[in-house]
Structure 1
Amino acid sequence: MLQTAKYDLTSFNTLTLRSHALALVTYRSPGQLPLFSEMASQHDSVFVLGGGSNVVLPETLTSLVVKVESRGIRLCDQTPTEWVVEAQAGECWHDFVAHCLDQGWAGLENLALIPGTVGAAPVQNIGAYGVELDQRFHSLSAWDLRAGRQVEMRPEDCDFSYRNSLFKQSEPGRWLILAVRFRLPKRWTPVLGYPDLQRHPALQAVAADITPRQIFDAVCEVRRAKLPDPAVLGNAGSFFKNPVVDRADFEAISKVHPQVVAYPLAGGQYKLAAGWLIDQAGWKGRRVGPVGVHDRQALVLVNYGGASAADIMQLAQAIKDDIALRFGVALEQEPVLVA
């Protein structure tokens, strides 16, 4: 169970960065958990690895790496208004969304084709095309590696915010998410607020009779057209968050750049499209050594082969510095830089 020799992680991160671990265990069942706590106490830090889709891994990981490979999906409860569906943390997120639709449990279709595992989804509080995970979240089970006990967490325990959560900010490596439960509505209504879906020909053709499966298919088509397949070209999806600015900053930017893409939020704030900012700065399609910015989506940094974390971070920093200089906006990266 414990790998003590150098364990190659290059194929276990979607950026395909050169990386290896000095100690690695694989989680498949709850019976392993007490031993994991004992092992964690013998290491300075622990890193929980799911699908590797939202991380920037160093060339050498000295932490104890816990790779999550547990499987299982079940309907664990239902009420007159909703289904409560549970998935084990190692399940592929996209496959889980597709399985729910096959069973008639709609509500996650806007989140189709997001890479990674179910267990990693709450860490990042994933979201796409108008739906955020915390809108569908019911609860989760986690193992507290420090205390050596299992805990149940409700939404209020997880401290969800935009692409953020307790698990990302507070004591990373303490919590091993075991299973996640979702509340899926029996009275389903489509979420079509994003322009890509509003103008999608297949959805326009059916108008008022749109089905969850049609939204799922449309989201997959849009994402495949915009985003490179990590199996073909290493990437971690959107590398930067869409920055949120106040009204004064938005008005100052829009005076100089009237075409700026922005979405109004509550409280007079605006969410700027980070991809638009990066594109306007001329970074789309630019290559710097073994890494670059994708030619169809400026939010995506790619590894053309043989890159390290240092290569990616140097490119990311150059982009952040340029956007700050041009627009006065601070970009924040989504993938976690693992120490």
Structure 2
Amino acid sequence: MQNKIQTSLKNYNSFGIDVISKKFISINSKKELKQAIRSCKEIPIILGEGTNILFKNDIKRTIIKIDIKEIKITEEDDDFITVRVGGGEKWTDLVNWAISNDFGGLENLSLIPGSVGSAPVQNIGAYGVEIKNSLEYCETISLSDLSENEFSNSDCKFSYRSSIFKERFKGKYVICYVNFKLTKKNHKIKYSYEPLKKILVENGVKNPTIQDISKYVIEIRRNKLPDPSKIGNCGSFFQNPIIGFDQFEQLKKLYKTVPSYLISENKIKVPAAWLIEKSGLKGIKKGNTGTYEKHALIIINNGRASGQEIYNFSKEIKNTVLRNFNILLKEEVNIIYQ
């Protein structure tokens, strides 16, 4: 366990926001986590890789960074493995481990930044797959009484980019380990998502392997998303809104080619990037921030923006989209105020 005071968080968040943490603790085990929580006078802020977080200003509360490392197969039969993964492992490292060992289930989630422990919180997903499709259960510690609890897949109450840890139990539990069930053979390859299907066809891949899926997902992401080590960003700043069928029909009268994805009989998902782009906000600059030229859903930091400046710009985007389409965008990024 490491303790620091008056620590810059510039290297601990992918936006590269240079704010100061009054107290910063990194932990490597459940035991150290409990010790760290006991030392806090108020509820701490739990930090993973900082790839889905915006610090608006300096942080007065204690920050606890989860650095629990482990990738261990705990159960195995002819068809499946169960693997226990420390919350401090990088998500990309887990996916790469699975792909290299020919374990299926995570390939569509290649190159998603962040830590394993934070992934279930927002039910990360990409190209037709979400973490809920392979997650067995989470091992957690309560911030209030230090009790250890397991949350099964159903306990997590997964929904689009959300879970019980982002809603009802937000800020109440720390995910220390995540257990996954992955396939050893007869992998369920998913490539119905149009951009992925298109790139496979272009490269003459008719029967893709999990390695193929991972390879081309990575290629797609690298072509359209900025590298946080070069351009500060947190990926998608907003969630794709889900609207009712009647509202979608009204939208379609104005824009016949509006892209959409059917969620249920009367719910339709519309790309937030499309709404932002149609509002004339793709690739614009505003002071030290702006939207990425290749993807309207990504807010960037040119290296000098403050958290407050990025936050204010995000509010302008929300207000413009609401005014133009009567659709209120919801942040995917977790905004920390103090």
Q: Which TM-score applies when normalising by structure 1?
A: 0.95
CA distance in 1, matches of 2:15, 2:262: 32
Aligned to 1:251: 249
**1:3 Cα offset (Å):** 3.5
CA distance in 1, matches of 2:284, 2:115: 30
8 A contact 1:46–1:174 mirrored in 2: no
Matching of residue 69 in structure 1 with residue 46 in structure 2: no
CA distance in 2, matches of 1:201, 1:133: 23
Aligned to 2:3: 3
Letter of the structure 1 residue corresponding to residue 243 of structure 2: V
Aligned to 1:280: 278
SS at match of 2:296: coil
CA distance in 1, matches of 2:4, 2:49: 21
Higher helix share: 1
Aligned-pair Cα RMSD in Å: 1.5
CA distance in 2, matches of 1:173, 1:21: 18
8 A contact 1:25–1:65 mirrored in 2: yes
Aligned to 2:37: 37
Structure-2 change in CA distance of 1:4 and 1:96 (3 Å): closer
Aligned to 1:335: 333
Please show how residues 1-339 of structure 1 align to structure 2 within 5 Å: 1=1, 3=3, 5-40=5-40, 42-43=41-42, 45-186=43-184, 187-201=186-200, 204-208=203-207, 210-339=208-337
% identity of equivalent residues: 32
SS at match of 1:241: coil
CA distance in 2, matches of 1:292, 1:33: 37
Letter of the structure 2 residue corresponding to residue 198 of structure 1: K
CA distance in 2, matches of 1:240, 1:51: 19
8 A contact 1:203–1:218 mirrored in 2: no
CA distance in 2, matches of 1:76, 1:102: 18
Of stretches 88-97 and 193-202 in structure 1, the one that deviates more from structure 2 is: 193-202
CA distance in 1, matches of 2:76, 2:201: 32
Of stretches 74-83 and 265-274 in structure 1, the one that deviates more from structure 2 is: 74-83
Structure 1: runs of 5 or more not aligned: none
Letter of the structure 2 residue corresponding to residue 278 of structure 1: I
CA distance in 2, matches of 1:163, 1:39: 32
CA distance in 1, matches of 2:34, 2:88: 19
Of stretches 106-115 and 75-84 in structure 1, the one that deviates more from structure 2 is: 75-84
**1:2 Cα offset (Å):** 5.6
SS at match of 1:311: helix
Deviations for 1:149-178, whole angstroms, at most 9, x for unmatched residues?
211110122121111112222343321111
Deviations for 1:157-216, whole angstroms, at most 9, x for unmatched residues?
2121111112222343321111101111232121011111111046751202x1100110
8 A contact 2:73–2:81 mirrored in 1: yes
8 A contact 1:238–1:334 mirrored in 2: yes
Letter of the structure 1 residue corresponding to residue 223 of structure 2: A
**1:226 Cα offset (Å):** 0.3
Letter of the structure 1 residue corresponding to residue 240 of structure 2: N
CA distance in 2, matches of 1:285, 1:174: 38
Of stretches 171-180 and 110-119 in structure 1, the one that deviates more from structure 2 is: 171-180
CA distance in 2, matches of 1:17, 1:37: 25
Q: Which TM-score applies when normalising by structure 2?
A: 0.96
Deviations for 1:239-278, whole angstroms, at most 9, x for unmatched residues?
1111001110000000011111111121221100111111
**1:228 Cα offset (Å):** 0.1
SS at match of 1:83: strand
8 A contact 2:104–2:188 mirrored in 1: no
Report the number of matched residues: 336
SS at match of 1:119: coil
Deviations for 1:115-174, whole angstroms, at most 9, x for unmatched residues?
000001001110000001111110111111211121111012212111111222234332
SS at match of 1:206: coil
8 A contact 1:47–1:172 mirrored in 2: no
Of stretches 245-254 and 256-265 in structure 1, the one that deviates more from structure 2 is: 256-265
